[in-house]
Amino acid sequence: MTEITFEKITKHFDRVKVIQDLNLTVNKGEFFTFVGPSGCGKSTILNMLAGLEDVTSGTIFFDDMPVNDLSPKDRDVAMVFQSYALYPHMTVYDNIAFPLKMKKQQNVSLDTEVHRVASLLSLDDLLKRKPRELSGGQRQRVALGRAIIRKPKVFLMDEPLSNLDARLRVEMRAELKKLHNKLKITTIYVTHDQAEAMSLSDRIAVLYNGTIQQCGTPREVYIKPKNIMVAGFIGSPPMNFVPASVQKSAPLEVICNEMIFSPSIEILPENTNLVIGIRPEDVLISFEKSAGSIEVTVSLIESAGSFNWIDVMWHRIKVKGVSQIDERLQTGGTAFMKFPLDKVIIFDKETERRM
């Protein structure tokens, strides 16, 4: 097991800054995920870890050893690529055996190792096939096999599930998790799919524009997002944002879309512009009026099976919420919305940070 430390890592491509001042420690045996929209620099981080890209400045440590100047070969990392990158002219057997052959270890039996990995990933029957004769999920497993056979120090995964269909993706997600529990190899995972990041990782780092916006356990990032970017990115469907402002400074009164409430945050000057964030799953919409509910107009109903996602217009602002299955709720009709004020997250509109 290896601990990975990034110390003041920056990466420029010509004059474009891709990664800025990255400082981070990934613990031994941890499943760590970089998540962010495309172009945020997450794949660059993986390539720097693998030794496929040089760092512009700063140092990467594997345990206490700086690895900046080591070639990929000497870093003892394995990588799974989005397109699987299987060698098309080799059989499954040869694909899996390839890294071990390159390593030229005398004391291990190649054949035993390949069969051990193949049975771990239930590929035994496919060993003689070529990659083009495999389904997406099978190719993915071969790619995993090729990565784990060498028992690398670090496991790097670059969006390994994004080429699979939705159902297979969920299945493989579970497989990956199981595999990690079994092998306990430090794993760095990169994805743009926040659900994948949440369900797989011990910790995640939300990356945007080359800087880490927030790093923590999935739960922490979900409950206490540091800024609007993180709040909007993590969670599905995405968080609702409603503009608000401070009406009275002491005692604090915030006016939000004609609703006035007093959140327990620091005292702010009057007229400070705020943004109120509330997760759709916390917004309850029902046909019947209840104490403290707000009247809204239903604009869209989406069924999620056991409940409905409902878009409503709260004055001129669209808010997404959940409702029970209720025939009386109709598009264009009236409904009542309610959300617990303690679940509301307040951001400063200027800095976009959470109060």
Interface residues with another protein (CB under 8 A) are 47, 50-52, 72-73, 77-79, 81-83, 85, 87-89, 98-99, 102-103, 146, 156
Rounded least distance, CB 94 to another protein, Å? 10
Q: Which is nearer to another protein, 49 or 283 (CB)?
A: 49
Q: Which is nearer to another protein, 159 or 311 (CB)?
A: 159
Rounded least distance, CB 40 to another protein, Å? 20
Rounded least distance, CB 140 to another protein, Å? 14
Encoding tokens for residue 209?
Answer: 């524009």
The pair phi, psi for residue 352, each rounded to 5°, is: 65, 15
List CB contacts of 3: < 8 A, sequence separation 6 or more: 25, 26, 27, 28, 61, 62, 63, 186
Rounded least distance, CB 191 to another protein, Å? 16
SS3 content of the chain, % helix, strand, coil (to 5): 30, 35, 40
Q: Which is nearer to another protein, 84 or 347 (CB)?
A: 84
Q: Which is nearer to another protein, 149 or 221 (CB)?
A: 149
Rounded least distance, CB 136 to another protein, Å? 15
Q: Give the integer Cα–Cα distance in Å for 231 and 305.
A: 26
Helix (H, G, I), strand (E, B) or coil at 125: helix
Q: Which of 159, 194, 205 is nearest to 34 (CA)?
A: 205
Question: Are 44 and 53 within 8 A, CB to CB?
Answer: yes
Q: Which is nearer to another protein, 103 or 315 (CB)?
A: 103
List CB contacts of 174: < 8 A, sequence separation 6 or more: none
Question: Are 205 and 332 within 8 A, CB to CB?
Answer: no
Question: Are 11 and 49 within 8 A, CB to CB?
Answer: no
Q: Which is nearer to another protein, 188 or 276 (CB)?
A: 188
Q: Which is nearer to another protein, 96 or 310 (CB)?
A: 96
Rounded least distance, CB 42 to another protein, Å? 16
Q: Which of 106, 109, 86, 88 is nearest to 96 (CA)?
A: 86
Rounded least distance, CB 207 to another protein, Å? 20
Encoding tokens for residue 97?
Answer: 């055996």
